[in-house]
Structure 1
Amino acid sequence: MTPHRLHRPLRVAAVLTAVAGVLAGCASTSAGPSGRYATPIGNAPVTSNPTPYSTALYCLADYARRYNLPSPRMAVGRISDYTGSISSDGGRQITQGASLMTNTALAKAGARIVERYDTSVSELELRYANNKLISDDLPNGAPQDAAYRRILAGQVPGSDFYVVGGITEVNYNIRSGGFDIAGGEVEQNGGSGLLTGKVFVMNIAIDLRLVQTTTLEVVDVVSYQKQIVGREVSAGVFDFLNGNVFDISAGTSGLEPVQLAVRALVERATVEFMANLYGAPGPEVCLNPANDPLGDSPVGPTGGYYPAYANTDTNNGQTRADPSRWHDRRDGDVRRGRY
């Protein structure tokens, strides 16, 4: 082997060693001045998580507010995953948080919600109060023995309706398709190429019911399904050039979020429940200019709340959905703060 050919592999090895050293220097076993070994990548802000039915929900909330339509008190029970599907890593394939999504959907619709899903804190404090172990702030001039919390008859408001049900279907590979295209030169050491593409469709379904609490009568039932699409495209090239071998490949893939599909199913069902309870004639209520869901309502894409102060002109459902709000690099008021 000539010296020229001998030095060439050595130069390649030296370059690879230098690159490996640079990459290894990106992570250190000694904490820096900030107290961290490495700075996390990414700077995406927190955003709202709407579905195509979120606008209809807070449009209904504004419709009820404009016409002074009272909302019944709503509660949410168990909305479980009955599909039994398990992912490849051993966890559940479908979200177990459909009940939480329903609470958020009801809040977007402006419903009055009473907690029935997790009452552990209230039950614990009720037991403490029953033993006179819970105290509240004393008003001026009140005797010391009045500090403990009283249990009053009827102090907990009851629900008028509650939502229960479950995720009942998940069907994989309803339909799939794809292509593979390959080509190459017939000469020796000729190049070749490959292009592949795949598309598959699955679906998920939910069954919910609205129950009147006092009579246990099922007053409304909905069943919806949503299809989910996934795709994958890849390409590769293999060739010999000047005695060197090149094997280059690239690809992209995407799957519509399965858990977001569950949220969309829940919100579509909630739209139908609340439209019935509000007596809304249909989607045309959102076309009325008087029903402006972008106003100073406490309901918005992130949910809803009861304003503690009269400041909904600057703090409302829409400002909560602003991805730059309160962000130390995007919000000028926070960035200019003394912190």
Structure 2
Amino acid sequence: MIARSTRLAGVAACAALMVSGCVSTTAGPSGQYASPIGNAPVTANPTPYSTALYCLADYARRYNLPSPRIAVGRISDYTGTVSADGGRQITGGASLMASTALAKSGARLVERYDTSVSELELRYANNKLIGDEGPGGPSDQQYRRILAGQVPGSDFYVVGGITEVNYNIRSGGFDAGMGEIDTNRPGSGLIQAKVFVMNVAMDLRLVQTTTLEVVDVISYQKQIVGREISAGVFDFLNGNVFDISAGGSAMEPTQLAVRAMVERASVEFMANLYGAPGPEICLDTANEPLRDTYGPTGGYYPAYPNTDVNNGQTRADPSRWHDRRDGAVRRTRY
């Protein structure tokens, strides 16, 4: 009995040493106690509707269809749901998702969601506190002038909100257990499997800025599925206790479902504004190489006329600029 207890104590001590060996209480040469795990690169975050947005941008470019100026307002979470840890259950960033989705479609965006910096600089410029470099170089500072009509107006804006979160629309599962009748051969096993479905819904509207007329209204919902599987064995063998279990769980990302709804609504809004007949516009890929200022990561305004050679075409490449995956990047430790 004493020998068995000694063995168990030794095993526990070895396990503790192995765990403590991974974390030190003394900072290493890098100034850190431990290096973070994980090396997944930054990737694009598309949804099944992203390709349709690119098709709309291609279609507008192919037929020289001008995009109206579009602003994004508040797309708030009106469900009031709170997660178990006290944070928001549903993202508060749907407005930001809408800006990205509209940029993928080639829309001309004007900022109205957060104008705090522009308003502050406008006040400073109005008081002649902001200077810009003049023709004479850095030493020739001139105060920034405010010109009438320098801020372009929007033609339409998008507002709305997340209006539904419905938990446990349907769930199911099973538990199965097994045990020994003979007390001299104790042992048991258990297997569990569970599946549940919930959904989120969103209501958006497109408003004409000058008249405040609601010209388009869209309501969508998306179901989300989750599953959990686990199994375990509990047994006594020669006086030793063994409790072994394993399992896995997965849940469709809730916030990605919100992004998918936003992108689907943006597809419908922009298809109407462009006059696109339907998904058949994606069959013509003749002008796809023109896809230079928009793509899986959104869209941008080119700072220089070099869209054929700049980094716009590689923004969705997961290895680009990564110091361990891109050989062109110098691996310098700072």
Instruction: Compute the TM-score of the two structures, normalised by the length of structure 2.
Output: 0.95
Q: Output the CA distance in 2 between the equivalents of 1:116 and 1:277.
A: 20
Alignment partner of 1:251: what SS? strand
Residue 301 of structure 2 corresponds to 306
Alignment partner of 2:231: what SS? strand
Does residue 1:7 correspond to 2:20, yes or no? no
After superposition, the C-alpha distances for 1:61-94 in whole angstroms (9 at most, x for unaligned) are 1221122111100000111111111111111111
Residue 147 of structure 1 corresponds to 142
Q: 2:97 aligns with which of 83, 101, 126?
A: 101
Residue 160 of structure 1 corresponds to 155
Alignment partner of 1:106: what SS? helix
1:192 and 1:239 in contact (8 A); partners too: yes
Residue 256 of structure 2 corresponds to 260
1:77 and 1:99 in contact (8 A); partners too: yes
Q: How many corresponding residue pairs? A: 333
In the TM superposition, 1:226-265 aligns within 5 A as: 226-265=222-261
Instruction: Compute the TM-score of the two structures, normalised by the length of structure 1.
Output: 0.93
Instruction: Describe the shift of the 1:336–1:37 C-alpha distance in structure 2 as closer, same or farther (beyond 3 A).
Output: closer
Residue 277 of structure 1 corresponds to 273
After superposition, the C-alpha distances for 1:84-139 in whole angstroms (9 at most, x for unaligned) are 11111111111001111101111111110000000000000000011100100111
TM-superposed CA distance for 1:35, in Å, is 1.1
The code of the aligned residue for 1:32 comes to G
The code of the aligned residue for 1:118 comes to D
Alignment partner of 2:132: what SS? coil
Q: Which structure carries more strand by proportion?
A: 2
Residue 323 of structure 1 corresponds to 318
The code of the aligned residue for 2:116 comes to S
TM-superposed CA distance for 1:338, in Å, is 10
The code of the aligned residue for 2:177 comes to A
Q: Output the CA distance in 1 between the equivalents of 2:138 and 2:15.
A: 74
Quote the sequence identity (%). Answer: 78
1:303 and 1:317 in contact (8 A); partners too: no
Alignment partner of 1:211: what SS? strand
Q: CA RMSD in A?
A: 1.9
Alignment partner of 2:36: what SS? coil
1:329 and 1:335 in contact (8 A); partners too: no
After superposition, the C-alpha distances for 1:258-281 in whole angstroms (9 at most, x for unaligned) are 011000000000000001111111
**Stretch deviating more after TM superposition (271-280 or 59-68):** 59-68
Instruction: Describe the shift of the 1:142–1:336 C-alpha distance in structure 2 as closer, same or farther (beyond 3 A).
Output: closer
Alignment partner of 1:47: what SS? coil
Q: Output the CA distance in 2 between the equivalents of 1:153 and 1:71.
A: 24
Q: 2:199 aligns with which of 175, 198, 203?
A: 203
Alignment partner of 2:205: what SS? strand
1:86 and 1:92 in contact (8 A); partners too: yes
Q: 2:37 aligns with which of 35, 41, 57?
A: 41
**Stretch deviating more after TM superposition (51-60 or 7-16):** 7-16
Structure 2 residue ranges without an equivalent (≥5): none
2:324 and 2:331 in contact (8 A); partners too: no
